[in-house]
Amino acid sequence: MPKTSPPPLVLLHDTRFAEHAKTLAASLGVTAMAMSDADALPAKADIVFDVDLHDLGIVDATRRLLARLAPAGRQIFLIDGRRDRVGRVQAEALGASSVVERAKAFKALLAAHAVPRLHLPAHPMPKTRAGRSIAAAGQELARLFDGVLSDEPIDIASLSSASSEILSGLNEAGVQPWLATVRQHHEGTFQHCLLVCGVAATYAQHIGLGQPLAIALLNAAMLHDIGKSIVPLSILDKPGRLSPDELVIIQRHPAAGYDYLMQQPELPKVVLDAVRHHHEMLDGSGYPDALSGNDILPLTRVLTVCDIFAALTEHRAYKPTQTPAEALAILASMVREGKLDGSIVRNLGQAFDIYIPTSDLAVAVKRPYLRA
């Protein structure tokens, strides 16, 4: 599916809703401006009016503004809630393209304005077990990410079936061909999630993890970045370094994913924990809860190592691609810094036929910029 650029989204606000509009705009990675500055709107912008539709003076000012600008994009009006009949009537009288409740504005605007976040391949997967397993995982990922914005329940059986298919496909094809197929056909967040699944499956098979735990690990790998569904595409796909404000937004994704998954009654606690804490470090330097040591569960520690390995070896515009050996050297350095579990890193190295001498754990290795 080819990427298309959506029109710019701008939040116009009055005095009453200035702080709400600025906070919402910052979360979406878009612009907020006062009604008095509306002449600076970009052409064909989609405009979100975060204004008091109960104030007849504001309603009249909005009407005059629309008549003067004759905007070519959509006009989206925020109202106080489902029972705000006055707000809805005024918005429709002003020619609203759509009316959104303020409490639901973030997800609604993100879903309406973003281009698809996960891109299925433009051409079919190879007709191999590896290709079929990647296609099944890709379709499941697309359903999962779409489900966050629409608050759809997760089909646990379908998720576990896709995880089982990954284990079988990777076992038949071998890890390197499986990962190479992912890199050839997928990009961005989609590539990363699939690579984490492949690395996690390789780890599970190497250490002989039993089927229930292996499926739990793969389910966690499929779900670990589901919170990125609420990260604006402009941040996810940004080719350069993120600003401090953008980092704050992207670092919300583990908690956002966890909050969504907590609504799913059948997910095991170890999977929920891994989704929330896959960016925690043993020395307490991670996020979102700054856990350390034994507070980080074993399955979560495994997912963290697989996540970083995948991020280091994937193809992204903002960082160099590391070889598996280079990635493992970086992971070994992080063990030396007290951030990662050394036994997990050694096991992953063995799974890729790369031996990590104990002496390497004492060697500092410069790490590239990551945002996994």
Q: How many CB atoms lie within 10 A of CB 6?
A: 13
pLDDT at res. 4:
54
DSSP-derived 3-state class of residue 63: helix
| pLDDT value at residue 368 | 67
Contact 108, 131 (CB under 8 A): no
Strand, helix or coil for residue 12: strand
> Can you tell me the mean pLDDT for 340-357?
91
Which CATH fold topology does 129-362 show?
Answer: Hypothetical protein af1432 (1.10.3210)
All CATH 3.40.50.2300 domain ranges in the chain, comma separated: 9-113
The residue ranking higher by pLDDT, 44 or 253, is 253
The mean pLDDT of the chain is 87
Q: What Å distances lie between residue 242 and 25, 106, 235, CA to CA? A: 17, 21, 7
Architecture in CATH for domain 9-113: 3-Layer(aba) Sandwich (3.40)
Percent of the chain having pLDDT more than 90?
52
Q: What are phi and psi of 31, to 5 degrees?
A: -100, 140
Sorted by sequence, the CB contacts under 8 Å of residue 311 that are 6+ apart come out as 192, 370, 371, 372
pLDDT at 251: 93
pLDDT number for residue 118: 53
How far apart are the C-alpha atoms of 274 and 110, rounded to whole Å? 26
Q: Is the pLDDT of residue 347 over 70?
A: yes
**Higher pLDDT among residues 250 and 123, named by residue:** 250
pLDDT score of 211: 92
2 pLDDT more than 50:
no
Place of tokens 């599970």: 204
pLDDT the model gives residue 234: 76
Q: What is the spatial distance between Cα 114 and Cα 116, in angstroms, rounded to a whole number? A: 6
Give the whole-angstrom CA distance, residue 192 versus residue 174. 18
pLDDT class for 367, splitting at 50, 70, 90?
A: low
- Distance, in Å, from the CA atom of 41 to the CA atom of 11, rounded to the nearest integer, reads 10
More confident residue, 48 or 115: 48
pLDDT of residue 240: 80
Q: Give the Cα separation of 65 and 124 in Å (integer).
A: 49
Q: In this predicted structure, what is the pLDDT of residue 307? A: 96
Residue 358's pLDDT is 60
Decide if 302 contacts 203 (C-beta within 8 A).
yes
In tens, the pLDDT along 249-296 reads 899 999 999 999 998 878 999 999 999 999 999 999 999 999 999 999
42-46, 133-137, 199-203, 316-320: segment of lowest average pLDDT: 316-320
Which of 305, 139, 346 is CA-nearest to residue 220? 305
Per the CB < 8 A criterion, the answer to whether 113 and 73 are in contact is no
Q: Which residues of the chain form CATH 1.10.3210.10? A: 129-362
pLDDT at 177: 87
Coil vs helix vs strand at 10: strand
* Residue-level pLDDT at 191: 86
